[in-house]
Structure 1
């Protein structure tokens, strides 16, 4: 279910005086167009794990792929809590976004096909996938597709500093 307009609150203690919330549409545009994201998961022993990856934002959800034996897939099997971040690595301009949520495997053929197409549209032919039995496929092997259902997000506007919290769930 897509999020239309979540509740947005500026944190005055972390923002310039009189700062206004960053519009949710700006956050969605960044999530939709970013090329690189950072995924934070929790290892079974409780230690954090962070890795860069490619993702697709669609209908209020983030989607990511990973091999079944990769650390992030094993972490998600034990604990589905995640943080996904993206933005600009600059201090004085741009927008950084942090999305907190829960990840779940996607195995429905129609959703797998739609996301395979979305990856190819966004990232080009090197990221073209086929659809197998509950997985995406490439010459290199099979990939699991995960959907991140967001519960909260934060926007960190730079330049005119404003930290905005969005309650999504």
Structure 2
């Protein structure tokens, strides 16, 4: 079911505020999908159509996949499922390493998941500028 990113609806946004593990799908340089479990935060007001964020280590395969796509960013999707409810966000991913951007993403993660990750000097943010949403929340 398609979701309007400009007006995703209260139940959809609420579902993304609940504590759920998610998956991130990026494409390897050979075009095959790389799917990994992650924590995701969703900011429906960020950017023109919203932003999803994943905090991770700069040496991870997911970061390498995003960087390999070049400066325009990589296609990526995040998804979460809870029994009959599900939500997917798709868009163009870039890697951000600015300290204030990383700190903001960590704070968002802490609010959603109820814990602050241990400090990591190699932490970066995969930031996904959203272009499509689907789901049933």
Coarse TM-score class (shorter-chain normalised): 0.7 to 0.9
CA 1:69/1:40 → structure 2, altered by over 3 Å: closer, same or farther? same
Residue 151 of structure 1 corresponds to: 131
Aligned equivalent of 2:77, options 69, 77, 83: 83
* CA distance in 2 between partners of 1:56 and 1:25 (Å): 16
In structure 2, list runs of 5 or more residues that go unmatched: none
Partner secondary structure for residue 46 of structure 1: coil
1:115 aligns with 2:105: yes
CA 1:128/1:29 → structure 2, altered by over 3 Å: closer, same or farther? farther
Task: For residues 31-89 of structure 1, give each alpha carbon's deviation from its aligned partner in whole angstroms, at most 9, with x where no partner exists.
Answer: 2224211111101011111111112222331110122221111111123100110121x
Question: How far did residue 142 of structure 1 move?
Answer: 1.2
Aligned equivalent of 1:67, options 49, 57, 64: 57
The structure having more radius of gyration, on CA atoms, is 1
CA 1:109/1:142 → structure 2, altered by over 3 Å: closer, same or farther? closer
Question: How far did residue 110 of structure 1 move?
Answer: 2.9
Partner secondary structure for residue 77 of structure 1: helix
Question: How far did residue 107 of structure 1 move?
Answer: 3.2
Aligned equivalent of 1:5, options 4, 7, 14: 7
TM-score (norm 1): 0.64
Question: How far did residue 108 of structure 1 move?
Answer: 3.5
Question: How far did residue 111 of structure 1 move?
Answer: 2.6
In structure 1, list runs of 5 or more residues that go unmatched: 7-23, 130-137, 158-169
Aligned equivalent of 2:32, options 22, 47, 55: 47
8 A Cα contact 2:57 2:123, kept in partner: yes
The number of residues matched between the two structures is 124
1:95 aligns with 2:85: yes
Question: How far did residue 4 of structure 1 move?
Answer: 4.2
